[in-house]
Amino acid sequence: MKNTPVDYNIVTNLVKESGIQDVGKASIREIKRLVDRIEAATGNKFIRMEMGIPGLPPAQIGVEAEIEALRRGVASIYPDIFGIADLKTEISRFCKLFLNINVNPEGCIPTVGSMMGGFACFLTINRMYAEREGTLFIDPGFPVQKQQCRVLGQKFDTFDVYEYRGDKLKGKLESHLKDGKISSILYSNPNNPSWICFTEKELQIIGELATKYNVVVIEDLAYIGMDFRKDYSVPGQPPYQPTVAQYTDNYLLLISSSKAFSYAGQRIGMMAISDKLFNTIAPDLKRFYYSDKVGNAMIFGSIYSISSGTSHSAQYGLAALLKAVNNGEYDFVEVVKEYGEKARIMKKIFLDNGFHIVYDRDEDQPIADGFYFTYSYPGFTGEELLKEMIFYGVSAISLAITGSQRLEGVRACVSLVKREQFPDLEYRLKKFHEDHPY
């Protein structure tokens, strides 16, 4: 029996009982359930870094506006599929004020989270041209999006961007685009899981190649404004959240409310389709839709089929929230800065105890501190590390499930870790380091 911070025998037995063949390869939900059980059996509170869920209260302006809308009786009325007028206007304003781009309110559409937004994109965009096959994911990425492509029976292509930052991105992207099979490119920025952020140069490369090869960029801004190295919080003033939309008009943005406004439970997100893409005519869409105009196929074909729009009250909540944000009355960036502060401290604790940060740079700049970071420990694969660290009361997920080639890597999410737990984290990592000298 080993002397580990969490009882070795109990953990070993519970892992056996869980039926999980290999903890290192387990899904996020499996890890969650296992850790819940270990916590209950041992009374040890884990440093829980596996789930990417907000750790802050929801933005109150949204909650109040939703309650008021419900009291007014909106629950009994089907919302328009394309979204309520106020929300469409505020999304368009948000795009102007925080990204410095012009998107017609017509192309600003609420979705049932960016999760549904992504699904609607794969459904519509990847069917614009019969000879094209699917999405190119610039990895590492959010595993569920590939699952969505699988569910749709669509092919996809991926590469890990780690070795292809800066100028190298051009050749790599072109090697995937040149045979004309790719219909869309998807990445998140800041990136889940690695927290890398593309530089302006990289966004320019992506944008210019999207135009050259007539590929739609689906830019997933789930963590908009959260690269805290720059202050993107002031509406209508530079610096603005960097976006590929500065470099191509062939884009579609997914802006989630889940993390930026801690609004994950209401399942409402935003899709902003560029004016050019919205009005693009793609005759092959007629195979699946009544209209061959992208915007119409998206709204009246895909979104209608999936969910007939987005919860009415949540739309009022988000509209009120965005209005306050756009008017400079609510600083959403200030609220979520706490994630960056926690990441800075936690990364130091990891580094001080023999761990390394895996994705550590944006070209020549150290990466930002934010919602996620990635770590490794010499001599371990990510899967082995994850498994071993369960005995030390630390849970996370392996980068292997994110399309990363850095098999030594583990993703940590800082949101659920409380500051009071930092001494525990320090003690456990120190003990891990002592037990695994190199």
Ligand X SMILES: Cc1ncc(COP(=O)(O)O)c(C=O)c1O
Q: CA-CA distance, 157 to 356, in Å (whole number)?
A: 29
Q: In the complex with ligand X, which residue's Cβ is closer, 66 or 220?
A: 220
Q: In the complex with ligand X, which residue's Cβ is closer, 282 or 318?
A: 318
Instruction: Give the pairing of strands 269-273 and 216-220.
Output: unpaired
Contact 249, 277 (CB under 8 A): yes
Single out the residue of 4, 256, 296, 310 in contact with ligand X (rule: CB under 6 A).
256
Query: Residue 25 in 3-state DSSP?
Result: helix
Give yes or no for residue 52 binding ligand X (CB under 6 A): yes
Contact 241, 99 (CB under 8 A): yes
Give yes or no for residue 115 binding ligand X (CB under 6 A): yes
Q: In the complex with ligand X, which residue's Cβ is closer, 160 or 388?
A: 160
In 81-191, alpha helices (H): 85-94, 113-125, 143-151, 168-177
Closest CA to 72 of 81, 84, 88: 84
Least spacing, CB of residue 393 vs ligand X, in Å:
24
Q: In the complex with ligand X, which residue's Cβ is closer, 6 or 186?
A: 186
Q: Which of residues 122-161 bind ligand X (CB under 6 A)?
A: 142
Give yes or no for residue 266 binding ligand X (CB under 6 A): no
With CB under 6 A as the rule, give the number of residues binding ligand X. Answer: 13
Single out the residue of 7, 219, 220, 369 in contact with ligand X (rule: CB under 6 A).
220
The two structure tokens encoding residue 106: 């017509």
Q: Which of residues 399-438 bind ligand X (CB under 6 A)?
A: none
Q: In the complex with ligand X, which residue's Cβ is closer, 258 or 302?
A: 258
Q: Where does this chain touch ligand X (CB under 6 A) — which range of 107-115, 232-240, 339-347, 394-402?
A: 107-115
Give yes or no for residue 66 binding ligand X (CB under 6 A): no
Q: Where does this chain touch ligand X (CB under 6 A) — which range of 70-78, 110-118, 277-285, 313-321?
A: 110-118
Give me Rg for the CA atoms of the chain. 22
Q: Where does this chain touch ligand X (CB under 6 A) — which range of 32-40, 111-119, 158-166, 203-211?
A: 111-119
Give yes or no for residue 114 binding ligand X (CB under 6 A): yes
Residue 110: beta bridge partners? 270
DSSP state, residue 55: -
Q: What angle do CA 422, 428, 431 make, to 5 degrees?
A: 140
Dihedral, CA of residue 321, residue 322, residue 323 and residue 327, to nearest 10 = 110
Interface residues toward ligand X, by CB under 6 A: 52, 113-115, 142, 188, 192, 220, 222, 256, 258, 264, 269
